[in-house]
Amino acid sequence: MRHIFGALFFVGVGMLIEPQLLAKNWPALAILTVVAIVGKTVFVSLASMLIGERPDTAVKTGFAMGQVGTFSILFALAAGGDPMGALLYSLAVALKAVTSILCPLLIRASNPAADWIDHHLPLRVQSALSQYSTWLDRTRKLPQTEGIERGKAG
């Protein structure tokens, strides 16, 4: 039953796309695709490094998350039935489709990109990330009561 609903959902979504709007506005789709993929890749990579992942792992994670989610389609549906809403909807669905197609290619490119970044990262940045990782490991290993007592004493 769940598979039938999924198929009907995507068929319904696809039927609401206006191809002539996409053909007229392909530069907007291209710009949105680049912004979405680069933005998600960079911010997910940075967030991964903030939680203590090594730079190569963080970059691979960022590349794997380059795909735009289905919620973008739902937000575009909320735009209403005016011409701008139809354009936003068509762009959102096309952006979802394009990033879904590109995501496996991004994942494949993540290893060479991570290796390149790892080899070209300045020594100061590598040292800072190493110190940050060590600091995170130490704070994670602190017993909860010791951390609470330190907070009260300070």
Q: Which domain holds residue 111?
A: 11-121
Domain count across the chain: 1
For residue 97, is it within any domain? yes
**Per the domain annotation, does 113 fall within a domain?**
yes
One pLDDT digit (tens) per residue for the chain, 154 residues: 667 777 777 777 777 677 888 889 999 999 999 999 999 999 999 999 898 888 889 999 999 998 887 776 666 666 666 677 778 888 888 888 888 889 999 999 999 999 998 888 899 988 998 898 889 888 888 776 555 555 555 4
- Answer yes or no: is 136 within a domain: no
Record the tokens describing residue 118, joined without a space: 């790892």
Identify whether 146 is part of a domain: no
Q: Is residue 48 included in any domain, yes or no?
A: yes
| 46 domain-assigned | yes
* Cβ atoms within 10 Å, residue 91: 21
Domain contains 109: yes
Q: Which amino acid is at 16?
A: L
| 133 is a domain residue | no
Give the C-alpha separation, 108 to 71, whole Å.
25
Residue given tokens 């789709």 in the structure block? 29
